[in-house]
Amino acid sequence: MNNQFNIHHWEAPDTKDVKTFFHNYFMNGKEFTGWEMQETSPVHNTGNSFIKQYVWVNTNASDEIFKVDVVESFSYEEAKNQFQHLLQQNMRPLSEFRKVPSILGSNAYVNDIEEMYYGLFLVANMVIRVHSVGNTAIACNDFIKELYRILNHRYEEHAAVDSPSESFFSKHGHEISVGESTGLNIQIPVWYKLLLDGPGMLRFHNGQLEYFSDEPGIAHIDLYTIKENAVEKNTLTLIVK
């Protein structure tokens, strides 16, 4: 069936997934009206991802609870590994789950299209799992769709263009050689969405955000700083020789 998930098959990657990178993403407790974020676990560094967990409770019905697991992988390829790992952890056969590409993209599945008690999707280097964990099972459709919307939101359409920031720069200068990487310096403790236009990839490696390319060309990196009431944009241009 076309709407069943095949763990051994990947769709051709969307360019936006390969060229987009999220760093330091976190939930602020204001995402879902009528729900309170009551528990957050310490960030867990697995060596190839940062895992963050959030528990949300209905303010009018304390037995209605859902949990959000955020896996911020160090690269897009690692996110695919994490996605498959979470699929294999399920207690039920994968044949029971359904894909919903028109709603959550090609790399996603839910237990049921109409009532999503459990949903998992991948966007760029992020893997998000949302599931009902309270005594009363609840459909998580709205929560899953909202998180997918947040990660796919086109911040570039309304971001304030900031003046060139002294805190966002390449640690090895504006020119690097093919096969080399350069650390990207960012200092403000908020979350970021980076968009890469050009060769190479963005990743978190050796404790830092970095750009790497194994082919020559000119790379433009747009950094969107996601603040509570504003989005700021900075752009960095790198030449790979």
pLDDT in tens, 85-117: 887 776 455 555 566 666 777 777 777 677 778
Walk along the chain (241 residues) and give the pLDDT tens digit of each residue.
334 445 555 556 666 778 999 999 999 999 999 999 998 889 999 999 999 999 999 999 999 999 999 999 999 999 999 988 887 776 455 555 566 666 777 777 777 677 778 888 999 999 999 999 999 999 898 999 999 998 988 776 666 666 556 678 999 999 999 999 999 998 777 889 999 999 999 999 989 999 999 999 999 999 998 887 788 888 999 999 9
State the pTM of this model. Answer: 0.85
Q: What would the two tokens of residue 77 be?
A: 């390829």
Domains of the chain as residue ranges with CATH: 24-153 (3.40.1000), 160-240 (2.60.40.1080)
Tell me how far apart the alpha carbons of residues 115 and 106 are, in angstroms, rounded to a whole number: 19
